[in-house]
Amino acid sequence: MIKHLLFDIDDTLFPSTEFAELARKNALRAMVEVGINIELHELERTLEKVIKEKNSNYPKHFDEVCRIHKIKKPARYIAAAVAAYHNTKMSILPYPEIPRMLLTLRENGYKLYTATNGNAIKQWDKLIRLGIALYFEDVFVSDEVGEEKSVIFFKDVLKKLKAIPEECVMIGDREDSDIIPAKKIGMYAIRVRRGKYAKGKTCADANVRDFSNILEIIKSLENK
Ligand SMILES: [Mg+2]
C-alpha cells in the first residue's frame, strides 16, 4: 500500500525555470533603467555566456556582465540587477493546481514530503514563499542527508520514514536524480514532464504533464 509521496520542488511544484528566466530578464531591465549604456539584447547575450561559463549558481553573474562590458563604476548597475532579481524570486508561485492537489492527497491519507537537491534553508524558503510548507511532514534535502538524490539518498529517506520502498512514490521532473535512483531501490516513480528536462526517455511508472489526475494515477500504481 502506498503511504508516502515524495515531491521534487524545482519544475515539479513550481515553474523554477520560468521564474529564473524572468528574474534574469528583470535584472537586466533594471540595469538599463538605472542608465547602463548597453542595449538589453546585448546584455542578455552576455549574461547567457556568463551563465554557461560559470553555471547558474555562481553568485556574481551581474558583476561579470559589467566586467565584460568594461563598466567603470558598476556598483549602481549590480545593485539594481540584484534587487530586481530578488524581487522576482520573492514573487514565485506554485503551478496553479498544486495547493488543491496537496490538500486532496492529504485528505486521502497520504503523507507528503519533499526530496530535493540543494541547500536546506533555500529549499524551505521556496516552500514558505510558495505558501505550501504546511502540507509537508518533512523535507529531505541533499545537504542534510550528505548525498545528492541517489540510491544512498533514497535509502536514507526510507530509513527515516521507517518505510519499505513499495510504500513510497517519488514524483519529479528529472530522470537522472528523481526517477532512476528511486526505481533502483524499488520505489514507484512518476515523471513530471515540465521545465527544461521535460523531454527524454523514462523508466518511471507513469508520466504527467500536470497533476490533475494524480490521485487516480497513484491508486492505479497500487493495483499494478
Ligand atoms: Mg526538479
pLDDT band at 223 (very low <50, low <70, confident <90, very high): confident
Average pLDDT, integer, range 93-116:
97
The sheet carrying 138-141 orders its strands as 138-141, 111-116, 4-7, 168-172, 188-192, 206-208
Average pLDDT, integer, range 25-43:
96
Q: Half-sphere exposure of residue 171, counting CA atoms within 13 Å on the CB side?
A: 23
Q: Contact at 8 Å (CB) between 159 and 150?
A: no
Cell of 76: 549602481
What was the pLDDT predicted at 55? 77
Expressed in angstroms and rounded, the spacing between residue 87 Cα and the centre of ligand 1 is 22
Average pLDDT, integer, range 200-205:
96
pLDDT band at 172 (very low <50, low <70, confident <90, very high): very high
What are 18-31's pLDDT values in tens digits? 999 999 999 999 99
Integer Cα distance of 100 and 131 in angstroms: 12
Integer Cα distance of 211 and 208 in angstroms: 7
Average pLDDT, integer, range 137-145:
91
Cell of 105: 492527497
Q: Contact at 8 Å (CB) between 135 and 101?
A: no
**Does pLDDT of 58 surpass 80?**
no
Nearest one of 195, 189, 185, 180 to 207, comparing CA atoms: 189
**Does pLDDT of 57 surpass 90?**
no
Expressed in angstroms and rounded, the spacing between residue 172 Cα and the centre of ligand 1 is 6
Expressed in angstroms and rounded, the spacing between residue 131 Cα and the centre of ligand 1 is 18
Integer Cα distance of 153 and 70 in angstroms: 45
Expressed in angstroms and rounded, the spacing between residue 207 Cα and the centre of ligand 1 is 14
Expressed in angstroms and rounded, the spacing between residue 34 Cα and the centre of ligand 1 is 34
Expressed in angstroms and rounded, the spacing between residue 72 Cα and the centre of ligand 1 is 39
Q: Is the pTM of this model over 0.85?
A: yes
Expressed in angstroms and rounded, the spacing between residue 178 Cα and the centre of ligand 1 is 8
Cα-based angle 8, 5, 202 (whole degrees, multiple of 5): 60
What was the pLDDT predicted at 143? 86
pLDDT band at 85 (very low <50, low <70, confident <90, very high): very high
Burial class (CB in 10 A: 0-12, 13-18, 19+), 205: buried
Integer Cα distance of 39 and 186 in angstroms: 53
More confidently predicted of 54 and 98: 98
Summary mean pLDDT of the chain: 94
pLDDT band at 56 (very low <50, low <70, confident <90, very high): confident
What was the pLDDT predicted at 152? 95
What was the pLDDT predicted at 145? 85
